[in-house]
Structure 1
Amino acid sequence: MIEHDVVVVGSGIAGLRCAIAAAMKGVSVGIVAKTYPIRCHSVCAEGGIGAVMSEEDSFDLHAWDTVKGSDFLADQDVVEFFVREIPKEILRLDNWGCPWSRDDSGRIALRILGGHSAKRTVFAADRTGFHIVHTLYEKSLMYDIQKYSEYFVTGLAVEDNRCAGVYAINLKSGEVEAIRAKATVLATGGAGRLYSFSSYSNTVTADGMAIAYRSGVPLKDMEFFQIHPTGLIPSGILVSEACRGEGGYLLNSKGERFMERYAPERMELAPRDVVSRAIWSEIEQGRGFESEYGPYVLLDLTHLGEDRIEERLPLVRETAIKFAGVDPVEEPIPVRPTVHYTMGGIHVNYCETSIPGLFACGECACLSIHGANRLGSNSLAECLVFGKVAGEKAAEYAERSEFRSISTDEEEKRIYSLFSNGDESAYTIKRELNQTMDRNLWIFRDEQGIMNALKKIRELKDRYRNIEVSDRSKIFNTDLTFAIEVGYMLEIAEVVALSALNRKESRGAHFRTDYPKRDDGNWLKHTLVRHGRIEYIPVKITKWKPVERSY
């Protein structure tokens, strides 16, 4: 049996930062993940990290932009803590060797992203996530952190209402193993593969959210999914907001910079929910382009010139050429909105869940910093700040706790029952789930569409009980792991639909055409879902009262 004081599930930026922080406290640490660390989804992050790094900026301004960007659903005490901590993480990573881009004076360079009032986004060209992951991975090698890569976590071991570790399939052997821990941290990322047109890696399947929810931990604000304005046609791969931060234009089929109609002050640098709705409105009103892969608009970088694109946006250029056959130096890039971030997640108090010994950080957790809409550059910042917090808190908890006995017997029965004969395919169910989410829980929503989605999701859950995993081998059985992931996604999709149906207003990324206005009197509150039951808790307000959100 594997045993560590602290076990971190997930090896992305949040998981690596958490493991390092725990190891620095002197406890035994293990990272359990279904991929290798340098293949985590975090390497796909491009634009940068928001931090107050200049005299023209301030903590209050960063906090205000975040709160306003969240459509006032962010908990302001957490935001204030967050904005003060992230500059320390930037300098720490600089000390650890992260190759931040520099300005002509040699200082760490800054760019502006949507919804921010100042240049505060620190970046490493447009490969920011890649370089942070490699920096953290190399730093982790300085500590006795054991890495269990290609271990697929299937559930939490909860004994006497305390988390005693996790169950995981060792993909190399196919055996279900118990991994004991005094403290367990979930850092498993978001739920973006509920949708088909998505910037997420195929590994991002709501694993941590689902296993926490099944163990009785509530999920918070799951109606809020960020749909990023610019996904590459036809793949959905992210075309970084850094493009607009560096001066890119959005154009419709008439050649107009249409953002003037929707956000005349900020134009292309309005928050993501505003820009995505603008793009989709242009498409619905017949001012988009048509293709065999669906409608789109254009992102024009040609006026920036080859030198600037190669310096600041080399990955965007490489990706556009490789996956769309378009060189942005010569012609605009075809884009449309793509699912990009899960604002909701596991309900935590900074990093602690309702189950003693269980912590969560990164995108799978909901603190809430991002509220109803995340500002670009705040996600990597959250992973670093609260990865550190979770690692330290988990280590402190482990130092005063004992190991508990756990057995794999029940988990093995549950997992291997998927090999029984059935007449449903997990692949078919996943495809129908994606179609349902794309159709009914997209940028614009209404009651009938959400009810249709909820009915379909519940039908798919019933059908899922009769799936068959046709590959009966144990070693690297991807049919089995895919089937388990589909189960996770169905669980979370139902929570998303329930939360969206009940919130009868439009706020941030949740836009109801039948309730098009924000309703602070009734809905300035967080949604909590526990075992299919909905409750609400208040938003924490410290300084900034809700006002009209305009750009």
Structure 2
Amino acid sequence: LFQTSLQFDNIVRYDEYFCTELLVEDDHCKGVVCIDIKSGEAKTFIANAVILATGGAGRVYQFNTNGGIVTGDGMSMAYRKGVALRDMEFVQYHPTGLPSSGILMTEGCRGEGGLLVNKDGYRYLQDYGLGPASDKPVKKAMELGPRDRLSQAFWHEREKGRTVKTEYGDVVYLDMRHLGEDYLHERLPMICHLAEQFEGVDPVTDPVPVRPAVHYTMGGIRTDIHAATSLTGLYAVGECASSGLHGANRLGSNSLTEFCVFGKVAGETAADFVKKQAPVTFSDSLQQQAQAALDGINALRRQSGNESIADIRKALTLTMEDHCGIYREEKLLKAGLDEVNALIERYQHIEIKDKSEAFNTELLMAYELGMLLDVAKAMLVSALNRTESRGAHQRLEPEYTERDDENFLKH
């Protein structure tokens, strides 16, 4: 995409910009306020249409497979302007992430014949309706079962004390030794490299420690089939959006199809909309909003406080891991919501020690933390309200362990 965009002179790129706020006038999104990371200056862009493609919110969890910038920015910015978030309770875990980093050990490992075993070397998935065990990979069975089922099986093994405790939490093993050195280096060279680099384990000679890690957020900004939100002129696409395509549990690779299709749809819909609008002007109202956003950036830079951004963020990710994880229940969700509300209060008292203008990453982390807190609260409230089990949302209470289509066959 980056290389393609460089081929067209009419595409103007603004790399190393961080978006902080949407500008809205008469229920019409008319631009954004950003920080130019290279200089530290705040910049305003006005337009008759804005398309958000900011990704998901996996970084709200301690263990995740996502990049460092996947912090729910677009979801939070839209939410703060009154745009609905939908299906936020549906968070997909991938069953095989490296414990120290969250880096993904892809399905290809298991597709080639890799086995998941507990601390006793036992292929435990057969105990959870995924068997019987077979010497060769079988679609939808054992190691090739659905991601959510494999992650749930890990949870049960941990509760039974059959996982391995490490400094990064409990793990099981992905055993590929039986495939042989030549086969592994031919078919899974990158997997071998990642395991050696990040875990110090050679899959040829030793099993690789793995654990479930948050991989994808099915929920996001509510959009229609045209990628439009409830706010005129605002569109969303990709993981930040909730098109409804994935339901309660995304199938592997469907997100690629989704953002290819809806990326095209969003671009065409926004372009058609803009053609029908009068040229946007930097009105007094928009100028006032932009100035307020600029004042907010400067106030955050100067703010004095006794709270650490890093401490709050670590507490947030651990809270979500412990209270809104693979399995949920009311008492844990309510306790998690209380903790997040307390963290939101602490966030009001953060202080940015770095006073530099250019490449002030601490300032960006402060904004990301505020956005993560918004998303975390939405996830907890949504999970509390869905008193059933469906897809990636599983409740522990006996009365909520099954699907309830009569009350919850809806977004």
Relative to the length of structure 2, the TM-score reads 0.92
1:503 aligns with 2:386: yes
- Distance change >3 Å, CA 306–CA 385, structure 1 → 2: farther
**Which residue, 329, 333, 339 being the options, matches 1:450?**
333
- 1:365-384 to structure 2, matched below 5 A, reads 365-384=241-260
Structure 1 segment 273-422 matched on structure 2, within 5 A? 273-350=148-225, 351-401=227-277, 402-405=279-282, 406-407=286-287, 408-418=290-300, 419-422=302-305
Question: How far apart are residue 381 of structure 1 and its match?
Answer: 1.9
CA pair 311-223 structure 1, distance change in 2 beyond 3 A: same
- State the shift of 1:398 in Å: 2.0
Please tell me whether residue 235 in structure 1 is matched to residue 110 in structure 2. Answer: no
How far apart are the structure 1 equivalents of 2:53 and 2:31?
Answer: 14
Question: In the TM superposition, what whole-angstrom CA distance separates every residue of 1:417-467 from its partner, at most 9, and x where no partner exists?
Answer: 212222222222111111211111111111000000111111111121122
Q: Distance in 1 between matches of 2:181 and 2:53?
A: 38
Paired letter, 1:154: T
Is the 1:249–1:299 Cα contact (8 Å) retained in structure 2? Answer: yes
Moved more, 394-403 or 480-489: 394-403
The aligned runs of 1:14-93 (5 Å cut-off) are: none
| Match of residue 215, structure 1, among 76, 81, 86 | 81
Distance in structure 1 (CA, Å) of the matches to 2:201 and 2:231: 50
SS at match of 2:49: strand
- Deviation, structure 1 residue 512: 0.9
In the aligned structure 2, how far is the partner of 1:391 from the partner of 1:478? Answer: 31
Once residues 356 and 105 of structure 2 are traced to their aligned partners in structure 1, the CA distance between those partners, rounded to angstroms, is 39
1:326–1:333 Cα contact (<8 Å) kept: yes
Q: Which amino acid aligns with 2:111?
A: G
User: Do 2:248 and 2:391's aligned partners in 1 also have CA atoms closer than 8 Å?
Assistant: yes
CA drift at 1:374? 1.2
TM-score for both structures, normalised by structure 1: 0.69
Distance 1:311 1:396, change over 3 A: farther
Aligned residue number for residue 464 of structure 1: 347
Corresponding residue SS for 1:295: strand
Count, aligned residues: 391
Give the aligned residue type for 2:309: A
Runs of 4+ in structure 1 displaced over 4 angstroms?
none
Q: Which runs of 5+ in 2 are unaligned?
A: 132-139
Displacement after TM superposition at 1:307 (Å): 4.1
Describe the SS at the equivalent of 1:448: helix
Partner residue, 1:156: 22
Q: Please give the alpha-carbon distance, in whole angstroms, between the structure 2 residues aligned to 1:275 and 1:214.
A: 36
d(CA) in 2 for partners of 1:244, 1:330: 17
Encode CA deviations 1:199-221: one digit per residue, 9 max, x unaligned: 11221110000000001110000
Residue 242 of structure 1 aligns with an amino acid whose one-letter code is G
Assess if the C-alpha contact under 8 Å between 1:272 and 1:373 holds in 2: no
Amino acid at match of 1:240: T
* Contact 2:63 2:99 (8 Å CA) reproduced: no
The 3-state SS of whatever aligns with 1:146 is coil
Contact 1:505 1:512 in 2 (8 A): yes
**Structure 1: stretches of 5+ with no match in the other structure:** 1-135, 527-551
Aligned equivalent of 1:520: 405
Name the SS for the 2:251 alignment partner. Answer: coil
Match of 2:134 in 1: none
Report SS of the residue matched to 2:47: strand
Identity level (%): 51
Instruction: Tell me if 1:197 matches 2:74.
Output: no
